[in-house]
A and B are shown apart, each in its own frame.
Chain A
Amino acid sequence: MSDIILEVDDLVKHFKTRRGTVRAVDGIDFSVERGKTLGLVGESGCGKTTVGRTILRLIEPTSGRILFEGRDITKLHKSGLRSYRREMQLIFQDPYSSLDPRKTVSQIISEPIIANKLFRSKREVDDRVAELMATVGLAGRLFNSYPHELDGGRRQRVGIARALAVEPKFIVCDEPVSALDVSIQAQILNLLKELQMLFGLSYIFITHDLSVVHHISDEVAVMYLGKIVEKAPTEELFENPLHPYTKALLSAIPIPDIRHKRERILIRGEVASPIDPPPECRFARRCDHAFDACKEHPELREVSPGHLVACHLMDSQ
């Protein structure tokens, strides 16, 4: 039996605006196994960041259940929520804006330790900060440095050390390497993998970069306009994509190999507005295969073990 750490059940987040309801997340289900990584992929505005924030209850869900180790965290109140947040942490996209510029590296990392009263004495806190810095590969001499003195890669390491400070079981990584150069990106991706092995962490890895998601995830869910359109184990998804959107997305990645020329599937147009979308399949207007059935939204269905697709083409074959 698999050991599920997080289960999300019919999660919905709507934002009411003057122009109508933005259906940012519109009924999605997924689960994450302990010690594994679920990649959440999609383009700007597909709702992937909203999903990440809703799971942490930084944004309140409109409806749906979020079960963390069997407990429904949407029902938690203040004290329960505080202890829940110790189990689950967030690593942000932009290491330039997610660190307080007026605090030193050690102050930033010690903040969650002090807030959660994990250690009392100054000596113990400092020792723990030094240990965390060593874990994420930050030199001890940076203890009293300020964020502006650090490059992007080191800043992201500070963000990771801060997330690890409370010994979480689960980390939501929201585009943690998008702002970094490739050589630094590789260092951070390797670090995240090592930490996962070392502490048995589970990750949700949110990104628009399919090469990165392919590298780090065990399972991948592809989102389009608030819905999951396809979900499968990583190898299966990349070798046998079934949803027309996934296929187009995969074929659009530029591959740094000149012996590997592929036929590109260009999709027409752009992502439609998530404000009050019609009840048809959200991808239908850009889809080359759309037919009558697409007027109704397709359900996510299992087509082979672990491989789920929301597309009417699956029924017609």
Chain B
Amino acid sequence: MNEKDLVLDLKNLVVRYETEGGIVRAVNGLDLQIRRGTSVGLVGETGAGKTTTALALLRLVPDPPGVVECERMELDGHDLLSMSESELEKIRGKDISMIFQDPMTALNPVFTVGEQIAESIYLHEDVSYAEAQKRAAEMLEMVGIPGERAAEYPFQFSGGMKQRVVIAIALACRPKLLIADEPTTALDVTIQAQVLDLMQNLRRQYQTSLIMITHDLGIVAEICDEVAVMYAGNIVEKGTLEDVFLRTKHPYTEGLFNSIPYIKDRRAMLTPIYGLPPDPTRLPEGCAFRPRCPYAGDDCTQPQTAHRISDTHYVRCSAYYSRPGFHIKRGADNP
């Protein structure tokens, strides 16, 4: 066990898809460490590389066209990179599991929900199938669905209920790390509130670490301990909730906050981020956010490295070391 008690230690992850249309640079040198029992929000827009990062952790990036390179990828001290396919199968669903965005397509329509939960338990734990089924019914109760509904098929459940079933499958073997990829995007707000509440309770109970992939900073504020903001395949800012929400440092993070309709200040026009996210087959040299950044300068063409603000807070913006006294507006408003 390592000194900081890391569940996940990821260093210099690179994922690219080599397609006929060019090389798609999905993830570009990403570092991520997650301590036991904490939840990290992975925030960013479509194409930022959030889901690809998650798939790389499960070693599920399709190859070809995907190519994964990584210096270090350890789950609770075990090296994921050197594992064989059969070793990976033992880990997936047991030590690390994932909740996908769309509960409508994540379940198999021809098996009962009980069978689908029991499958995971039966595969990973030394129990009889009857015992696995009994535990599947208990898991259903845990997520607020009557145990007798284990014999029903996915089509008999509503969207919110299906997502509860997916959560039950994901947590059935009490994983060390749970990756939730936009788990509530397909749900209505009142159902979203129920599902987030449920995930928080179960996670605390099982001491599961969580990577919450989302584009919604509101969800991050409610359920995460730390935030990592992704842009063009890298984390541009990472810190505790207080660091990122109150002492925002990266211009892209500032742009995201300015784009959200904010309940307290409605008369103001929104301040969108200028332009569009870059084409991942032709990323700009240096900082990928440079063409859209209101603070861009000559120094932004050099390769960007993570700049330490405090023990918990990092920002990938060269202005902080090449321009003395540099600050963004939002950071200045919230000293």
CB-CB < 8 A to B242: which residues of A?
258
CB-CB < 8 A to B192: which residues of A?
252, 254
Assuming the A-B contacts A43-B189, A211-B260, are A254 and B219 also in contact, with contact meaning beta carbons closer than 8 angstroms in the complex?
yes
Q: B256 at the A/B interface (Cβ < 8 Å)?
A: yes
A contact face: mostly helix, strand, loop, or mixed: helix
Q: B108 at the A/B interface (Cβ < 8 Å)?
A: no
A238: nearest residue on chain B (CB-CB)? B263
- Residues on B facing A (Cβ under 8 Å): 45-46, 158-161, 188-194, 196-197, 215-222, 241-242, 245-246, 255-264, 266, 269-273, 276-277
The digit string for A48-86, where 1 denotes a CB below 8 A from any CB of B, is: 000000000000000000000000000000000000000
CB-CB < 8 A to B260: which residues of A?
182, 186, 211, 256
* Chain A 207-230 residues near chain B, CB threshold 8 A: 208, 210-212, 214-216
Q: Is the CB of B190 within 8 A of A249?
A: yes
- Residues on A facing B (Cβ under 8 Å): 43-44, 151, 153, 181-187, 189-190, 193, 208, 210-212, 214-216, 234-235, 238, 248-249, 251-259, 264, 266-267, 270-271
Assuming the A-B contacts A153-B276, A266-B193, A267-B190, are A211 and B263 also in contact, with contact meaning beta carbons closer than 8 angstroms in the complex?
yes
Least Cβ–Cβ distance between A264 and chain B, in angstroms: 6
Residue pairs across A and B with Cβ atoms less than 8 A apart, 19 shown, are: A181-B46, A182-B256, A183-B259, A186-B258, A186-B259, A186-B271, A190-B269, A208-B188, A210-B189, A235-B266, A252-B190, A254-B216, A254-B219, A256-B217, A256-B218, A257-B221, A264-B197, A270-B161, A270-B191
CA distance A266 to B191 in the complex (A): 9
A256: nearest residue on chain B (CB-CB)? B217
Least Cβ–Cβ distance between A119 and chain B, in angstroms: 32
Least Cβ–Cβ distance between B270 and chain A, in angstroms: 4
Q: How many A-B residue pairs have CB under 8 A?
A: 115
CA distance A193 to B197 in the complex (A): 35
CB-CB < 8 A to A211: which residues of B?
218, 260-263
Q: Is the CB of B215 within 8 A of A252?
A: no
CB-CB < 8 A to B276: which residues of A?
151, 153, 184
CA distance A182 to B159 in the complex (A): 24
CB-CB < 8 A to B190: which residues of A?
43, 248-249, 252, 266-267
CB-CB < 8 A to A215: which residues of B?
261-262, 266, 270
CA distance A264 to B215 in the complex (A): 21
Choose among A193, A234, A254, A266 the residue that contacts B221 (Cβ–Cβ < 8 A).
A254
- Interface centre among A184, A235, A238, by most chain B C-beta atoms within 10 angstroms, is A184
